[in-house]
Amino acid sequence: MATRDDGVGRVPHVNVMLRPVATPLPAGFLGLAMASVLLASLELGWIPAAEGHEVAYGLLLVVVSLQFVGSVVSCLARDPVVSTALGVLAGTWAAVAVDKLTATPGATSAGLGVLLVGASVLLWAPAVVGLPDKVLPSLVLVLAGLRFLLTGIYQLTASPTWRTVTGVVGLVVCACALYCAFAALYQDARGRGVPPLLRRGGARTSEAAATGVDVEQVTSEPGVRGQL
């Protein structure tokens, strides 16, 4: 730590090294879109129930890996909202995949239903916190939480009506996640605010949107200051 003279006395001067990282939103939301369309196709009967194992492998190999990496990168980028949301999504999809691999094709599970209802609440927490700054991404997380809730109700009731409803909502989540993934990828690659993600506050600036860091305030953040 260096010091500087402000005319009155020597004051500690903090030098902070910033590590630029790409935005994890495209990977996370592409994973969400993939998971949503896979499960929606299974729920709407487009994929036979006997092929649930293939859906599970897709969730584990593509979706969980994308969202797990996105969660880690978001943590490094100092974005607790996205990191928490992608972590919850990755863990939930992993649980769904394991259930598809071990359960009888087409069977429902009360245990999985309770897990999905709980996951919806967990996902809404970062969505509500991020809503003032990251409007569209947070709304997609709200929809994803609703999808978990509806799927949980279907798992608890085994009602064909709930199965159809959650499949339709899954397709809506897929479309919204694809838009957010494309918009975030385009903005990060081109440095433009179009297509819009309705960022506000600190997330509206290019530095905060790209790295999650407010350079003017970073020296007072946990992990940078001398003590918590």
Query: What is the tens place of the pLDDT at every residue in 117-172?
Result: 999 999 999 999 988 888 888 999 999 999 999 999 999 999 999 999 999 999 99
Q: Which residues pair with 3 in a beta bridge?
A: 12
Cα(54)–Cα(61) distance, integer angstroms: 11
| pLDDT of 200 strictly over 80 | no
Asked if residue 216 is part of any domain, the answer here is no
List phi, psi (to 5°) of 194: -130, 130
Asked if residue 218 is part of any domain, the answer here is no
CATH code at position 182: 1.25.40
Asked if residue 152 is part of any domain, the answer here is yes
Asked if residue 35 is part of any domain, the answer here is yes
Query: What is the tens place of the pLDDT at every residue in 13-60?
Result: 666 666 667 788 899 999 999 999 999 999 999 999 999 999 999 999
Positive or negative CA dihedral for 92, 96, 97, 103? positive
- % residues pLDDT > 90 (the chain): 60
List phi, psi (to 5°) of 193: -90, 20
Positive or negative CA dihedral for 184, 190, 195, 201? positive
**Which domain covers residue 100, as residue numbers?**
25-208
For residues 200 and 47, the model is more confident at 47
Q: Please list the alpha-helical segments (H only) found in 77-109.
A: 80-102
Asked if residue 221 is part of any domain, the answer here is no
- What's residue 7's pLDDT? 56
Long-range contacts of 214-220 (CB under 8 A, 24+ apart): 215/18, 218/16, 218/18, 219/14, 219/16
| pLDDT of 206 strictly over 70 | no
Domain count, the chain: 1
| Among candidate residues 77, 183, 200, 82, the one with its CA nearest the CA of residue 133 | 200
Radius of gyration, CA atoms only, the chain: 21
Asked if residue 199 is part of any domain, the answer here is yes
- What's residue 33's pLDDT? 97
| pLDDT of 199 strictly over 80 | no
Could you tell me the pTM of the whole model? Answer: 0.80
- Overall residue count recorded for the chain in this entry: 228
Asked if residue 20 is part of any domain, the answer here is no
Determine contact, residues 58/42, Cβ cutoff 8 Å: no
Asked if residue 220 is part of any domain, the answer here is no
